[in-house]
A and B are shown apart, each in its own frame.
Chain A
Amino acid sequence: MADLASPGPALAALDVLRAMGFDPVVPADAGCCGQPAFNTGQPRAAAPVLRHTVGAFEGCDAIVTVAGSCAAMVAHNGPALVPAASGFVRRMWEFTQFVAAFGAGLPLHLDATVTYHDGCHMTRVLGERTTPRELLSRIDGLRVVEMVDPDGCCGFGGTFAVKFPELSAAMADVKLDHAAATEVDWIVSADPGCLVHLSGRAGATGRALPTRHIAEIVRDALVPAGVTA
């Protein structure tokens, strides 16, 4: 998903990881976790795709993902689908968790106001509710304005978005209404899926509500103070 329709977050994450002093690589075989197929009832189509991706990361000390939902998929369903995935899960970090753990000294500054949308799978399956906000709170100059129901589903849901388009869009409208009420510069999330869906719906309905992945916010905050937008 990230590589196909939304490469910005992963590219930003590479910059952040380098600033933290790491030497990140993207294995040539890195691919998809298989979630689109798995969640729509096609585990047999999902398994080879996940197995290929798991194999690609053998030998990496830590695996960082910018998609909270993919992390949740691999952690929750991976080992049952592909036994080798259990080793992958032990080395896997969701982006904000990795930055929180190893980027404590990173100076961050960004003059902006944002609202944070909790992606469902990262929140409820991975159980990660606090780290993204802690990371945002570390960015000097950044103001977070909470929207109503920040952990309410945006209506994306993988193939749900194309099986029930009107329902999915109506759910996005609720989310966008709540986000618009905060009058912020960006809707921020740790999930590219939610963001592609929300920005697509905002675009189709003529709303000026830009979205930004949390890795892009952190990357932008790496820029020395005084040069920020």
Chain B
Amino acid sequence: MTAPSEQGRAGSRPSSTALIGTERVSLSHPEWAGAEIPPGTRRLPLISADAVRRPGVGHTRERLEALGRERASGVWTPEAAARRERGAEIRRETLKDMSGHLDRLCASLEANGAIVHRVSTPEQAREAVGQVARDHGVSLVAKSKSMATEEIHLTPYLNGLGIDVVETDLGEYIVQAAGQRPSHIVGPALHLSKDDVTHLFADLNGAPVSDRPDDLAAFARARLRADFKAAQMGICGVNFAAADTGTLVVVTNEGNADMVTSQPDVLVAVMPIEKVVPRLSDVGVLVPLLSDTANKQFVTTYQTWLSGPRDPDAGGDGPRELHVVIFDNGRSDVLGTPLEEVLCCIRCGNCQFACPVFRTMGGGHGYASIYGGPIGAVLSPVIGGHSADADLPFMSSLCGACADACPVKIPIPDLLVDLRNRYVEEHPRPVEDAGWRAWSLAWSTRVGYAASMIGARAASVVPGGILRRLPLVSTWASVRSLPSFTGAGAVRRAARKKDGHDR
């Protein structure tokens, strides 16, 4: 293995070492798995059909199924169940006074010396981060994992300002180098195999690399270490922000958030509003809950607690300047409605691990959205500017495994049904809606119901070739044989016969 090039650190405007060689990357991916989804390409039925045929999907599915069995997703020991109850209470307490908790958080952060940017839209959030970068002449950013920054499309924006942004979580680094977006909230590269990563790193290296997992990790570590040293600015996400003390808590298993938040002179923490918790002591419940459901750990290997910038008089460590960007992006609009429950989410990814739709598509790319899986199918249509995701709630069989797996008891299937109703109300489809009205009219009367049973029996003697041309029937029959309708209505007739009279 060759040592990482030092060219990234040469000159006055450092650029990334870790991203050297990305132009050589040959690992291909479908358009809908890319870092940015091109507008107008998002048609869920076609994408989901592609996803179940994607090479390697069976292998990913089997790994996820095995993981599901090992983790016993949805089964709660008495101790874990008690923690789950407490976590669910804390999250709902937070929702009840979201703006009050945010006000207290902002005051605490400012008292600690942080500079707070409380904004509404993704554009404003991006611009706030970009302005900090420009003010400090930043050319290289070391970033720790954050779905919030994915949501506001921060990296492409900063790239447009001529700034290199390096993902320092191993899985995120892998998908970034591959030009893809994360396929899971906590396991962003879970759709890729060891062979995929070996080929990817060999391309980056311009020479073969060992396929031993330790060697692959060491390759990434050496390259990322150079960027940690050279970056003028760090960007991190936030797992929990304690309103009472202004403490920001970031959990990782690689320690990369420790590096991002301690090495560069300037740090920007980016969070959506629901990361706030009332008290620092709540972290004692929520971190073990998150660690358990995300990764079957009692606590993560690293916990990074940020309590403000470095105190120049006291020496110490940390960034000289700490900025906190808090964005809303449509979330406040659902407060006070049943959909506010989605803001309880602590981003553990357990619903994604548990979901048979997610597993069968080999990860979250098939959802064609930043947030995939069950929680993504609720969150994506709720947050602002994502009306393109309005039909996402239909991509669920409503099996309920997600609700059982959720550490804060979000009733995901109920919210999916609510959002389907909202979609129907907001997107009139004359033929389908008229069909449901006709069905409703027929099946709420005795005559209409009987007529539909006679119709079904009549259809069963119609040659299959004609029957299969009916829209719904043809879709059903494209992958399955048709059931027989010769017995339609038989239950009522049988009961009448045995009774000896027409009831």
The interface of chain A, by Cβ under 8 A from chain B, is: 2-8, 10-11, 14, 18, 24-32, 37-46, 48-49, 51-52, 120-121, 123-125, 148-149, 152-153, 155-172, 174, 196-197, 199-201, 203-204
The yes or no answer to B314 lying at the interface (CB within 8 A) is no
B417 engages A39 (CB within 8 Å)? yes
Contacting pair B481 A11 (CB below 8 A): no
Which partner residue on chain B sits nearest A11 by CB separation? B494
- Which of B400, B483, B502 lies at the interface centre, i.e. has the most chain A CB atoms within 10 A of its CB? B483
CB of B492 closer than 8 Å to a CB of A: yes
Cα distance A2–B441 when bound, in Å? Answer: 19
Quick check: which of B238-246, B258-266, B288-296, B471-479 contacts chain A, the rest being far away?
B471-479
B65 touches A (CB below 8 Å):
yes
Q: Which of A8, A42, A164 contacts B487 (CB 8 A)?
A: A8
In this complex, the interface size class of chain B, counting residues with CB under 8 Å from chain A, is 35 or more
A229 to B491: give the CA distance in the assembly, Å.
25
Kindly identify which residue among A26, A30, A167, A201 contacts B52, using a CB–CB cutoff of 8 Å.
Answer: A167
Given contacts A14-B498, A40-B424, A160-B396, 19 further A-B contacts (CB under 8 A): A4-B453, A5-B485, A6-B487, A7-B490, A10-B491, A38-B417, A44-B440, A48-B444, A120-B399, A149-B65, A149-B69, A155-B356, A160-B394, A160-B398, A164-B45, A166-B53, A167-B51, A167-B366, A171-B360
Please give me the residue from chain B that is nearest to A178 by CB atom.
B65
Closest Cβ–Cβ distance, residue A104 to chain B (whole Å): 24
Of A24, A153, A174, the contact of B397 (CB 8 Å cutoff): A153
Q: Which of B462-503 contact A (CB under 8 A)?
A: 472, 475-485, 487-492, 494-496, 498-499, 502-503
Q: Are B492 and A120 within 8 A (Cβ)?
A: no
Q: How far is the CB of A219 from chain B (nearest CB, A)?
A: 13
Contact call B436/A39, Cβ cutoff below 8 A: no
Majority-rule SS of B interface residues: helix
B452: chain A residues within 8 A (beta carbon): 4
Closest 10 CB pairs of A and B: A157-B397, A41-B420, A200-B480, A26-B495, A203-B481, A124-B400, A153-B399, A169-B479, A48-B444, A45-B440
- Tell me if B157 counts as interface (CB < 8 A to partner A): no
Bound-state CA distance A11–B419 (Å) is 37
Q: Let me know if A5 and B396 touch, CB within 8 A.
A: no
> Which one, A27, A40, A125, A165, contacts B503 given CB within 8 A?
A27
B475, closest chain A residue (CB): A162
Q: Judging by beta carbons under 8 Å apart, are A171 and B398 in contact?
A: no
Q: Are A41 and B480 in contact (CB under 8 A)?
A: no
Return the CB mask of B68-96 against A: 1 if under 8 Å, else 0: 11000000000000000000000000000
> Which of A2, A4, A152, A168 neighbours the largest number of chain B CB atoms within 10 Å of its CB?
A4
Chain B residue with the shortest CB-CB distance to A36: B439
Contact A201 B479, beta carbon cutoff 8 Å: yes
Min Cβ gap A63→B in Å is: 14
Cβ contact within 8 Å between B356 and A171: yes
- 17 A-B residue pairs with Cβ-Cβ distance under 8 Å, sorted by A, are A4-B452, A4-B488, A11-B491, A26-B494, A27-B503, A29-B446, A40-B394, A41-B421, A52-B444, A120-B397, A123-B400, A160-B397, A161-B476, A162-B472, A165-B478, A200-B480, A204-B479
Q: Which residues of A contact B422 (CB under 8 A)?
A: 41
Whether B131 is near chain A, meaning CB under 8 Å from some CB there, is no
Q: Is B502 a contact partner of A28 (Cβ separation < 8 A)? A: yes
Contact flag A7-B48 (CB < 8 Å), given A157-B399, A165-B478: no
Alpha-carbon distance between A27 and B490 when the two chains are bound, in angstroms: 13
| CB-based nearest B residue for A46 | B440
Known contacts: A3-B488, A11-B490, A45-B440. The answer to whether A124 contacts B401 by CB under 8 A is yes
Expressed in whole angstroms, the minimum distance between the Cβ of A71 and any Cβ of chain B is 14
Contacts of A43 in B (CB 8 A): 421
Kindly state the separation between the CA atoms of A121 and B301 in the bound complex, as whole angstroms. Answer: 38
Q: Report how many A-B pairs have Cβ atoms within 8 Å.
A: 207
Q: Cβ of B360 and Cβ of A37 under 8 Å apart?
A: no
The reply to whether the CB of B220 lies closer than 8 angstroms to some CB of chain A is: no
> How many Å from the CB of A146 to the closest CB on chain B?
13
Query: Which A residues lie within 8 Å of B495 (CB)?
Result: 14, 24-26
> Which residue of chain A has its CB nearest to the CB of B46?
A166
Question: CA–CA, A185 to B395, complex, Å?
Answer: 33
Residues of B within 8 A of A3 (CB): 453, 488-492
Contacts of B419 in A (CB 8 A): 41
A121 to B201, CA, bound (A): 45
User: Is the Cβ of A200 less than 8 Å from the Cβ of B482?
Assistant: yes
Closest beta carbon of chain A to B84's beta carbon, Å? 16
Q: Mark B441-459, 1 if CB is under 8 A from A, else 0.
A: 1011110010011001000
Q: Check A49/B481 contact, CB under 8 A, given A166-B52, A167-B361, A171-B356.
A: no
Chain A residue at minimal CB-CB distance from B449: A31
Q: Which residue of chain B is the closest to A4 with respect to CB atoms?
A: B488
Q: Are A200 and B488 closer than 8 Å at their CB atoms?
A: no
User: A28 touching B503 by the CB < 8 A rule?
Assistant: yes
B262 to chain A, nearest CB (A): 44
A32 to B452, CA, bound (A): 12
> Complex: how many Å from CA A6 to CA B496?
18
Chain B residue numbers with a CB within 8 Å of A148 are 65, 69
Contact call A196/B483, Cβ cutoff below 8 A? yes
For B443, the closest partner residue in chain A by CB is A49
For the complex, what is the distance from the CA of A3 to the CA of B477, rounded to whole Å?
Answer: 20
By a CB distance below 8 angstroms, the chain A residues around B489 are 3-4, 7
**Which chain B residues border A199 with CB–CB below 8 Å?**
481, 483
Contact B479 A41 (CB under 8 A): no
Q: Residue-by-residue, is B388-423 near A (CB-CB < 8 Å gives 1, otherwise 0)? A: 000000111111110110000000000001011111
B357 at the interface (CB under 8 A from A): yes
Within 8 A of A (CB), among B286-309: none
B222 contacts the other chain (CB 8 A):
no
Closest residue on chain A to residue B502 by CB atoms: A28
Known contacts A4-B488, A7-B490; decide if A171 and B476 are in contact (CB<8 Å): no
Docked CA distance A15–B437 (Å): 35
